Amino acid sequence: MGESVNGKKRKRVVIFHQGALGDFLVAAAAVDELAEIGGWSRVDFWSKPEHVSLLAAKSYPGECRPYDSPLVSELLHDSLWRSAVMPDFLIEADRIFIFGQAGSRLMAERLSELLSTEVNWIQSFPQANDAPEHVSDFIRRQFAGLFPPISGKPLALSPPASEKRAAEGLLRELAIGSKPILVHPGSGGRRKVWPLANWHGLIDRVRRELSREVALSIGPADEYMDKFAGAMREAGIPVVSGLTPLRLSALLSLCGLYIGSDSGVSHLAAAVGIPTIAVFGPTDPFVWAPRGRGAIAVRRKWKEQDVLRWAPSERPDFQDEEIIALIQASYKASIKNPDGDHPSGQGSGLGRVKSAGSR
């Protein structure tokens, strides 16, 4: 169990999380707040190392164990789980939290039988038929009764200086000036991508009318955007790809504005603290919008078959004046007051959701 330092017991906690980047960041916001009020001196993660690396500047991260270890398979097996050998990092923990959906609840129940440590299951996001509630509030509510109340404060990330230096080198290599606008149109769920014709028009208009430098970010799950990325590169737009989440967070910290779809990168941009505009469609921003000091979610309607319907020969025609106005106001505010509030109109960091019709 927890060690003692100067007669005071240090609390060791284990967090299991195997979800996507956005889900991890939402869960990490609660963990970050609980580590402070609960006196957690060390938190070991049973998760994706590339996600946990984003918390490098925090005081509490301990070891990170790969979430896809054989032990997980054993715990989910109908007979093998009873003879599963428990590793020291679980035996020595004061408390274990298993984030996930139904399958992880079974794992939590079985760990409870195998260990003397208290094991809690935290459902990582609501079901589609649940009453609408932001996922951060949904997670926070599950901790009620276990700890003193937490406020649901958004996660704040500070990339290490070494990563910022490397990101600055990348900007120089790509001949990108200071405070560019980073556009990340992709998402792990293709249906969540605002149609590429809109992204094409937006990028064209921002460069042409607003005279802002724009860089395009492509993620590891965005292979369906290869043609689009190639066309943007030919048009003179720098394209960044293959970055680790930590390096991407450092790059984001050097940008004046971020625009993206409903994706984990949008949550990362909000956590880094730059003005963030996330365009939602089939998913509900009331539930999934990124939270941060300068985060804004807008909602538009589109058909899934239109997502990739785009040709580089088409003349860009972007007519969404509301989004253009948000870009202008957010970017201007970030340059004038880089450490202050932004046009999202919230000092609490809870963000703002704006809805509109089809575009």
* Closest among 278, 269, 273 to 296, alpha carbons compared: 278
Mean pLDDT for all residues in the chain: 90
Give the type of residue at 21.
L
Averaged over 43-66, what is the pLDDT?
A: 95
Question: 69-80: string of b/e by CB count within 10 Å (b at 16+)?
Answer: eebbebbeeeee
Give the pLDDT band (50/70/90) at residue 222.
very high
What tens digit of pLDDT does each residue of 130-141 get? 888 999 999 999
List the chain domain ranges: 4-142, 161-358
pLDDT of residue 118 exceeding 50, the answer is yes
How far apart are alpha carbons 118 and 115 in whole angstroms? 8
Averaged over 261-269, what is the pLDDT?
A: 98
Task: Give DSSP secondary structure letters for 144-196.
Answer: BTTBS----PPP-----HHHHHHHHHHHHHTT--SSPEEEE---SSGGGSPPH
CATH fit for domain 161-358, picks 3.20.19.10, 3.30.390.50, 3.30.70.20, 3.40.50.2000: 3.40.50.2000
What tens digit of pLDDT does each residue of 6-19 get? 334 568 999 999 99
Give the position of tokens 């963030």: 276
What tens digit of pLDDT does each residue of 173-215 get? 999 999 999 999 999 999 999 999 999 999 999 998 888 899 9
pTM: 0.92
Between 359 and 117, whose confidence is greater? 117
User: What is the chain's percent helix, strand, coil content, to nearest 5?
Assistant: 40, 20, 40
pLDDT of residue 126 exceeding 50, the answer is yes
Lowest mean pLDDT among 166-175, 231-240, 335-344: 335-344
Between 239 and 338, whose confidence is greater? 239
* Topology alike, domains 4-142 and 161-358: yes
* 4-142 fold: Rossmann fold (3.40.50)
- How much of the chain exceeds pLDDT 90, in percent? 77
